[in-house]
Amino acid sequence: MKRVAILISGGGSNMVALAQSMRGDHPARVILVASNDPGAAGLARAATLGLPSVAVDHRPFGRDREGFEAAILAPILAARPDIICLAGFMRVLTPAFVARFQGRMLNIHPSLLPKYPGLHTHRRALEAGDAEAGCTVHEVTQILDDGPIFGQARVAIRPDDTPATLAARVLHEEHRLYPAVLRRFASGDRTPLMLT
């Protein structure tokens, strides 16, 4: 059984979708939910699901990324994860942190990478006049929102879409895509899963 740590910063809806998928014959289980924000709504949701969680506030560390990462790394390592899932985790990780989990850290990003790495993905897709948007699960490498793609799901953009309406439809697809990709990844299958 693979041990999965999920890192969150906010609402944690992807964390919930992942956690609820890891049941029965699924080859993985959640062993820790970790957040850089003690106020993250996802921590309460983790508690409701009976999942162990830890929060390390990044703010007192200021620009000391290494200090923050050392503090959050200790409980993560203590939980002995095989796989790390970033699920709405909004801190950029240092190369040293990424290297430690090389080949076993996944992220979900709300765009069809390689389009729109970084922030404000939905607004950028609308401003570009794109016909479709979506989300990507990829391996985390030292380049932000880059790395081998393990899956994508697409949604059609509607003429009346706003960043908020588009985000909601994409988030719905994230909840389908991330659990499906994790299940494959945990069983050793890294071939991309393209959902329509």
Is the distance from CB of 85 to CB of 179 less than 8 angstroms? no
- Run of H or E including 171: helix 163-186
> By CB under 6 A, is residue 13 in contact with ligand GAR?
yes
Of 108-116, 125-133, 155-163, 179-187, the segment contacting ligand GAR by CB under 6 A is 108-116
> By CB under 6 A, is residue 58 in contact with ligand GAR?
no
Could you give the residue ranges of the DSSP H alpha helices within 84-162? 95-100, 121-127
Interface residue with ligand GAR among 36, 42, 101, 106 (CB under 6 A) is 42
Is the distance from CB of 125 to CB of 111 less than 8 angstroms? yes
> By CB under 6 A, is residue 14 in contact with ligand GAR?
yes
Name which of 8 and 54 has its Cβ closer to ligand GAR.
8
Cis before 192? omega within 30: no
Q: Is residue 26 annotated as part of the catalytic site, yes or no? A: no
Name which of 69 and 174 has its Cβ closer to ligand GAR.
174
How many degrees, rounded to 5, is the angle at CA 138 between CA 133 and CA 140?
Answer: 130
Name which of 114 and 187 has its Cβ closer to ligand GAR.
114
Interface residue with ligand GAR among 5, 6, 7, 12 (CB under 6 A) is 12
Measured distance CA(89)–CA(148) in Å, rounded = 19
Which amino acid, 131?
A
Interface residue with ligand GAR among 5, 174, 177, 183 (CB under 6 A) is 174
Measured distance CA(13)–CA(155) in Å, rounded = 19
Of 4-12, 18-26, 28-36, 67-75, the segment contacting ligand GAR by CB under 6 A is 4-12
Is the distance from CB of 113 to CB of 149 less than 8 angstroms? yes
Chain residues in the site for ligand GAR (CB under 6 A): 8, 10-14, 42, 87-88, 108-110, 135, 171, 174
Task: Give the residue numbers annotated as catalytic, written as ranges.
Answer: 109
